[in-house]
Amino acid sequence: ALSFLPSFLFEQFRRYSNCFFLLIALLQQIPDVSPTGRYTTLIPLMFILAVSAIKEIIEDIKRHRADDEINHRLIEVLQNGQWHTIKWQELSVGDIVKVLNNTFFPADLVLLSSSEPQGMSFIETSNLDGETNLKIRQGVPTTSKILETKDFNQFRGTLESEPPNRHLYEFNGVLKEHDKHAVEDLLSKNFAYNLLTFIILYNNLIPISLQVTLELVRFLQAIFINMDIDMYHEESDTPAMARTSNLNEELGMVKYVFSDKTGTLTRNVMEFKKCSVAGLMYTVEETPAQSRLVQVKVVCWVVLVDGEAS
């Protein structure tokens, strides 16, 4: 009852029309601004709000009566090894309930077992989605074979599930029975133990001295490379030099060596063969003057022609 008025006003003034008329009613309270009376809009607005409040109160009373009728329905609950009949509103989280044929579910339930084979049941969800066709649900595999009251009384477990949501046909949860580990946990632990045992047993496939042996071999190989006579260059008196022994084995993967040319000549020796200028081919067989002119033009950036030459 105390929260009705704030909730009602909040819902009413979420409508733009009520906010507009409320603003007009406030402006009409200023005599210098309003050409009309102070209560021209305020009284009709209050009347509309009063009618809406009465309607909401009547509907709220009906909802409370419907809720009371539903909450006072009876259901069987397993308590202290016996089935007791209690009201729906007295149910608690974790209670084991018995739902009979053609009856309503008192709450969101997890199907543990059923009198049908393989723990199957047929439910109708017309109150939720309007569909009247029966849907098949099957009990949890670990509890689907439990049918006796004494077995349910001895059952202890913990259910971890996702929070309530709008998905009617999806549910994610894990039922863990106390003092009993899940098969998946046992399999994962056994796999981890077996893997560690396998690694320990077969570690000798890689000898512990392998790394030291490889380092020694690389070091000696670098010495042989430095002493290799086939890698000695007589003209410059330069022998091969292995600057690091860690890359010796990389030499066996080299097939091509590319050298970047910066634009300068390795040797300042050039021999003119031929060239084409405006579609005309000039070769060394032409007149000596033409050949010399073309050769100089090709080699040099700027050519100054002496006027005395012909």
Alpha helices, DSSP H only, in 13-137?
Answer: 16-27, 42-71, 126-129
DSSP 163: P
Residue 74: HSE in the Cβ half-sphere, 13 Å Cα cutoff: 5
| 32 tagged catalytic | no
3-class secondary-structure state, position 74: strand
Place of tokens 């059923």: 114
3-class secondary-structure state, position 184: helix
Catalytic option among 179, 237, 260, 306: 260
* C-beta of residue 158 within 8 angstroms of C-beta of residue 178: yes
β-strand pairing of 97-98 with 74-79: antiparallel
Neighbours of 294 (CB within 10 A): 20
* C-beta of residue 36 within 8 angstroms of C-beta of residue 28: yes
Which residue, among 108, 107, 105, has the nearest Cα to 122 in the 3D structure?
A: 105
Show the CA angle centred on residue 122, arms to residues 116 and 128, nearest 5°.
155
Instruction: Give the 3-state secondary structure percentages of the chain, helix then strand then coil, rounded to 5.
Output: 40, 15, 45
Q: For residue 122, what are the β-bridge partners?
A: 136
Residues for the chain: how many in total?
310
Catalytic residue positions, numbered: 260
